[in-house]
Amino acid sequence: MMNPALRRILVRHETLLVVVLILEVLFFATQGRNFLTPDNLTNIIRHSVEIGLLALVMMPIILTGGIDLSVGSLLGLCAVTFGKLWRDAGWGWEWAALGTVVVGFVAGGGNALLITALRLPPLIVTLGTYSLFRGLAEALTRGVDAFTGFPEGFLFLGTGQWLGLPAQAWLFGLVAVGIGLWVHNTTFGRSFRAIGFAPEGARYAGVPVERRLALAYVLAGVVAALASITYTARFGTAKADAGTGYELAAITAVVLGGTSIFGGVGSVGGTLLGVAAIAVLTNGLSRLPATMSSASELSGVFTGVLLLLALGAGILPKAIAALRDRRSSAQTPAQPVP
Amino acid sequence: MTKSFFHLLSAAIAMAALLGTGCGPSNNSASGDGATQTAGGSGKKLMIALMPKSKGNAYFVSCKQGAERAAKELGVDLVFDGPTNPDPAKQNEIIENWITLGVDAIAAACENRDGISTALRKAQAKGIKVITYDSDAQPDARSFFVNQATPEGIGYTLMDEAGRLVGPSGEFAIITASLTAANMNEWQKHIEARRKEKFPNLKMVALRPCDDLKDKAQAEATTLLGAYPNLNLIMAICSPAVPGSAEAVKQAGKAGKVKVIGLGLPSENRRYVKDGVTDSVILWKTEDLGYLAVHAAKGLADGTLKPGAKSYQAGALGQFEIVGDHLLLGKPFIFNKDNIDQFNF
């Protein structure tokens, strides 16, 4: 299934991202103000953990050729749930966090059920739950209620340092290693790739496609709940609009990281590089004297430019290789069906 | 080998693109002198950061114009950044970035009072001076709040304007956002106090909520016009209600007969003011608000403004009163036919 040429293209994309990342760091370190300071590196990590977590679980889903548009809204719903359980139900924050993860599990399970049992397209299902979850979050708080005044022990998860790193970096690292091993080093995870290439083919090959798809969406729900915890702990406030637009930021990072939006191709390492490239760019722009006052807008523009360039640079050698293949042999290689 | 060639080529493209995008804006930026000044990181110029609730909002764009004027007069570097999309955590992220950037003072308009206070306290802990303007944070998260309008100032100005337009006796109605909104109830208290004191024969005949919706305000105003044939004036105290009431009066053909005044943005009401439907729109000069915010932030940073001060001298704008830890912008400003074209927010 996985031919060596394709593998090499993957490697190539990641190398490209590493080069981009190094250039970004060099550029901002020399041109920006106080960029390479421990405090600022902490900022970069803290500010990208939630989007990074969502990107990590979005990656296997996109790898199967699916998509989950509901994770940002689910983050909002989970943040509100956490606030409700802690303040209104009077649970300790640890229990409230556990309850929130259960809500994420159930919400992800709902997505999974609709997608696998009813065979509805993930785009449609999660577009629906995108509205549903945000709507529920707003209904629970009537749009205005905000939960605040959380205990110090909880806020530590979002603002504290542990063993020299921001507290939430440890959670992020754990999830990243777990998903990386799962996707690349288990037959289970590797079957995502097969499903993304050709779901019917995978089914005939004996892969329990539905069950595996379902797990990817459930996992997205659980991790979105974890992201809502670090988000609330970092921000100190849980409100229904938490995580607005995060699903698109996560998808952007995954695609920038080299995962094909049609499925079948991608790597967790690439996704991590994609997250890092965007995070460094966004932060760096706010430290260039010339772009300080327009960093918010420019980071959007440059992320877009970076995405298009990375995709273009990724496709160019592939297109030329395909052209050469066609010329050298009469037999055209079978194209993966999107 | 061709493969490694393409590998190299892609990397080169990315490199060129990155350098290109990175250098591009620094060459043609308006703050070119700032670029050379602070590149070394040891410029003695103070750096003041100003945060709007959202960047595209015309109200804050106009605050920024005043802020830029103040920065120029004071010789400080001004950083203006804020969220462009409704992401509540963005304000915090920007402030955290400003802390490590090493700005000297921050002036923020707070979207989420409790949320932003965490970040502002962190800034204060790092020795950065913090003030708020337009909408406050928690008192312990900043030194001063630049208060654009006191409830008394708003209430008195509205009532005085009503009295000026209607005369000593007549009838008026108020359209508010909701009967429970704390700030509006506070304004009404002062409107009533002023009425009793100066215009005892001007009667308030009705008080209607419009849920902060223009359509609903228009419907309420239409009902009022029918129910009170002797009505002289509608006072709209939430911003959608001003154009809403004006539209109702216009459609009823009562322009000029029933006056409309209210609290709102000049831009939303310009049409009605010029048509003679709305007589006055009351707000503050947002440019002055931005000017004062930056000026006071600089004052805090260099020690000319200290906690406990009773007044503050802000350059070209003169002296401002301080009550407690509120720096008062002063009386609201009245926009009417003669001056409304000078304002674009």
Whether residues A316 and B55 touch (CB distance < 8 A) is answered with no
Q: Is residue B156 part of a domain?
A: yes
User: Domain for residue B80, yes or no?
Assistant: yes
Which domain, by its residues, includes B263? 151-283
- Where in A22-159 does DSSP place strands (E)? 147-148
Residue B31: the pLDDT is 38
Chain A interface includes B57 (CB < 8 A): no
Nearest chain A residue (CA) to B119: A235
Distance from CA of A49 to the nearest CA of B (A): 12
Domain termination residue (choose one: B283, B306, B321):
B283
Q: Do B86 and A241 touch (CB under 8 A)?
A: yes
Q: B138 and B238 share a domain? A: no
Q: Rounded to a whole number, what is the largest CA-CA distance in chain A?
A: 71
- Nearest-by-Cβ selection for A313 from B10, B92, B118: B10
The residue among A3 and B261 whose pLDDT is bigger is B261
Please tell me the distance in Å from B106's CA to the nearest CA on chain A. 13
For residues B271 and B196, membership in a common domain is answered with yes
Cα(B162)–Cα(B187) distance, integer angstroms: 14
Q: Is the pLDDT of residue B288 over 70?
A: yes
pLDDT by 10-residue block (mean), chain A, 338 residues = 61 83 95 92 94 97 96 97 96 96 98 95 96 94 84 93 93 97 92 91 90 96 98 91 92 94 92 96 90 84 88 73 73 51
Residue A170 C-alpha, separation from nearest chain B C-alpha, in angstroms: 20
CA distance A200 to chain B (A): 33
Q: How far apart are CA A257 and CA A14, in angstroms?
A: 7
User: Which of residues B212 and A30 earns the better pLDDT score?
Assistant: A30
Q: Quick one: DSSP state of residue B258?
A: B
Contact B101 A33 (CB under 8 A): yes
Q: How many CB pairs under 8 A join A and B?
A: 165
Q: Give the confidence band of B38 by pLDDT, cuts at 50, 70, 90.
A: very low
Shortest distance between the Cα of B121 and any Cα of chain A, in A, equals 12
Which 8-state DSSP code applies to residue A293? G
Cβ separation of B22 and A27 shorter than 8 Å? Answer: yes
Mean pLDDT of B61-80: 94
Confirm or reject contact between B16 and chain A (CB < 8 A): no
* Residue B315 touches partner A, C-beta closer than 8 Å: no
Q: What are the backbone angles phi and psi of residue B66, rounded to the nearest 5°?
A: -65, -40
CB pair distance less than 8 Å for A245 and B3: no
Q: How many domains does chain B have?
A: 2
CB neighbour class for B3 (10 Å; exposed up to 12, middle 13-18, buried from 19): middle
Q: What is the pLDDT of residue A14?
A: 87
Which residues in chain B belong to E strands, given as ranges?
47-51, 77-80, 105-108, 129-133, 144-147, 170-176, 202-209, 233-236, 259-263, 278-283, 311-313, 319-323, 326-328, 333-335
Give DSSP secondary structure letters for B275-314. TTSEEEEEE--HHHHHHHHHHHHHHHHHTSS-TT-SEEE-
Q: Which of B255, B283, B311 is the last residue of a domain?
A: B283
Amino acid A136: pLDDT: 96
Q: Is B112 within 8 Å of A292 when comparing Cβ atoms? A: no
Does one domain contain both B159 and B47? no
Best to test chain B binding among A292, A299, A301, A323 (most B CBs inside 10 Å): A292
Q: Indicate whether B100 and B197 sit together in one domain.
A: no
Residues 90-119 (B) with a CB less than 8 A from some CB of A: 90, 92-94, 96-102, 112, 114-115, 117-118
Q: In which element (H, E) is residue A166 found?
A: strand A165-166
Q: Which of B48, B91, B96, B122 to mutate to test the interface with A (most CBs of A within 10 A)?
A: B96
The predicted pLDDT at position A7 comes to 61
Contacts of A295 in chain B (CB under 8 A): 81, 94
Query: Do B60 and B107 reside in the same domain of the chain?
Result: yes
Contact between chains at A16 and B14 (C-beta distance less than 8 A)? yes
Please say if the pLDDT value at position B274 is more than 80.
Answer: yes
Q: Flag whether residue B20 sits within 8 Å of chain A, measured between CB atoms.
A: no
Contact B86 A19 (CB under 8 A): no
Q: What is the full DSSP assignment across B313-334?
A: E-GGG-EEEEETTEEE--S-EE
pLDDT tens for residues B172-193?
Answer: 999 998 887 778 888 999 999 9
Q: Return the SS3 of B86.
A: coil
Query: What is the secondary structure of B154-168 as a DSSP string?
Result: HHHHHHHHHHHHH-S
Q: What is the largest CA-CA distance in chain B?
A: 95
Shared domain check, B233 and B214: yes
Partners of residue B117 in chain A, C-beta under 8 Å: 236
Task: Please give, rounded to a whole number of angstroms, the shortest distance from the CA of A169 to a CA of chain B.
Answer: 16
Residue B67 has pLDDT above 90, yes or no: yes
Determine contact: B197 vs chain A, CB below 8 A. no
Report the alpha-carbon distance of residue B195 to residue B159 in Å, rounded: 6
Give me the interface pTM, i.e. the ipTM.
0.80
B345 touches chain A (CB under 8 A): no
Question: Which of A234, A235, A325, A328 is the best mutation test for B, with the most CBs of B within 10 A?
Answer: A235
Task: Provide mean pLDDT across the span B13-21.
Answer: 46
Q: Do B203 and B266 fall into the same domain? A: yes
Q: Taking residues B227-250, report their average pLDDT.
A: 95
Q: What residues does each domain of chain A span?
A: 43-319
Chain B nearest C-alpha distance from A26 (Å): 10
What pLDDT, on the 0 to 100 scale, is given for residue B211?
84
**pLDDT > 90? residue B270:** yes
Residues near A97 by beta carbon (within 8 Å), at least 6 away in sequence? A82, A154, A229
Q: What is the pLDDT of residue B88?
A: 66
Looking at the structure, tell me whether residues B182 and B194 fall in a common domain: yes
CA pair distance A21, A17, nearest whole angstrom: 6
* CB contact (8 A) between residue B13 and residue A37: no
Instruction: Report whether pLDDT(B332) > 50.
Output: yes
Residue B21 pLDDT level (bands cut at 50, 70, 90): very low
Question: Does residue B1 belong to any structural domain of this protein?
Answer: no
- B113, B159: one domain: no
How high is the pLDDT of residue B212?
84
The answer to whether the CB of A296 falls within 8 A of the CB of B84 is yes
Same domain membership, residue B103 and residue B92: yes
Question: How does the average pLDDT of chain B come out, rounded?
Answer: 86
Q: How confident is the model at residue B310 (pLDDT cuts 50, 70, 90)?
A: very high
B134-172: pLDDT as tens digits: 989 999 999 999 999 889 999 999 999 999 999 999 999
- B-chain residues near A310 (CB < 8 A): 14
Spell out the CATH class of A43-319: mainly alpha
Residue A331: CB partners within 8 Å, gap ≥ 6? none
Interface probe for A, chosen from B87, B95, B111, B180 (most Cβ of A below 10 Å), is: B87
Query: Which of A27, A146, A244 faces B112 most closely, judged by CB atoms?
Result: A146
CA distance B100 to B123: 9
Residue B32 sits at the chain A interface (C-beta within 8 Å): yes
Is the predicted pLDDT of residue B32 greater than 60, yes or no? no
pLDDT digits (tens, 9 = 90+) for B214-223: 999 999 999 9
Residue type, B172: F
Contact B99 A39 (CB under 8 A): yes
